[in-house]
Structure 1
Amino acid sequence: MTDRYAVFGHPIAHSLSPDIHAAFGRQEGIAVDYRAIDATPDGFLAALEAFAAEGGRGANVTLPHKEAAFALCTTRTARATRAGSVNTLLRKGDRWHGDTTDGAGLVRDLTDRHGQDLRGRRVLLLGAGGSARSVAPSLLDAGIRELVVVNRTPERADELIDAMGEPGRALSRYWDDLHDLGDFELIVNATSAGRDPSASFKLPLSLVNSMTTAVDLNYGDAAIAFLAWARAAECRNTVDGLGMLVEQAAESFQQWHEVRPDTDAVYAGLRGNHRLTGEE
């Protein structure tokens, strides 16, 4: 039976992950069977079981399934346990092992591709869902000075901060407090609020200083609204989630195939492609 790989999400037709893993496979001389599988929240577990029965050896998981994927894993990496979120699954016998590669992908993209030194930076994280949880531990591990999480449902932000276990460096605040939080060197949008490119994304200009980099974990049309705000606010740098997507995919690929592909050529090829919508 051929080993199969996939990305699960809802919706998922827009996903670039099959293209990325196919490119990695060509680069490494590995025949990769990787597809996108649309699964509703109610149907995710059944879809994953059917995939495993057909030879599924590994999978990526995107919205809205990252926390459900975490719950179904028998074993997890330390960073996935801390995040409470899983985006990478590896089949071990008849069970799933879970990891989260988003945060490592984000940090690698910011530091290696965009030349950002995250040490000592004050960071604002917008959102507290699966995407936010998946990047928060890696941001802290990268040496940032302070992480402030703001979410429209305060309880979710509190839960994320509690999971980080660093009360001196990580704290939660209310969305209505944004005007009073001061300025940040890094602002990360992990919400879905900007996914309508025709909508406006409004945040206080007081959040921005002369060094601010604004990052949207989305890419393409889904990142337009937030990055438009960031440019209007005169952020020093604006970054979408395409680089993170490629880097987290490379982390997954390495776990499945025991070789890390080169990401620069794949990133450059995708950056030149106009078909860029969605999160994964």
Structure 2
Amino acid sequence: MPASTAWPILLAFGITLSFASLVTSVGVGIGGLVLVCCAVAGWAKQVLPEEHHEMIPVKARQFTPSSVRTQVAHIQVSEVHRAFLPVESYAVTSGLRGGIAGGIVMIFPALLYGYLTQHSIWYAVNLLGGAGVAHWTNATTADIAAFHWNGLITATIIHTAICTLIGLLYGAMLPMWPRRPILLGGIVAPLLWTGLLHSILGFVNPAFNARIAWGWFALSEIVFGIVAGVVVTRSGKIRTHQTLPFILRMGIEAKDFKGPTGDRR
């Protein structure tokens, strides 16, 4: 049997301390990072290059099968003999496409907000990339509304990473919502996400929280969710065969590949 280990629990505790440092102190975050590094190293030693195992004693017992039947019925195994739930699912690449498409479209409400309120399309960009804007700790509204290369680069990196991760999440979770996936993934989920950020951002970053127009923020999230949901749901589904290679489960086709039922894919 696989050897028991406490490293996963310590890793989870270290990650918890790292995020708790956002509302406590830097020392808590440093302790969490140290614990994360130790847990990752210790866990890796237990699974690489070979997994550690422990011997479990097995007691043998005599068993004589008996039956009153004179014939044995053979089960005809077919593709529908055992169902995998969900039977069909979206490919991982469809979630990536949805996240990229939603991330591109949601830029326009954000730029429109900056133009209407501050007469600058760079206002929302610099808010997102606030850590890279010059003099951010004492930044004025005019400084945030101006163009900054470092703010643009930081905002682009943050926006791309978040949209990609949420797109992957959509691709994984939309099959769990067979009814009205656009309503749940495009409206309900963005509103819940906006409410969560609104409740904690005042403690994490009060300066950032004071400058966010939450109505426009929710609108941008809803636009992202609807577009990403539409792109994902219109993508073709693939059958969820656990025996298929990982490359096929990602939705990447291979020529002349014969599936478990003999069909070519």
Q: TM-score, normalised by structure 1?
A: 0.25
User: Which structure dedicates a bigger proportion of its chain to strand?
Assistant: 1
* Structure showing greater relative contact order (alpha-carbon pairs closer than 8 Å, 6 or more residues apart): 2
Q: TM-score, normalised by structure 2?
A: 0.26
Structure possessing the higher radius of gyration over alpha carbons: 2
User: Which structure dedicates a bigger proportion of its chain to helix?
Assistant: 2
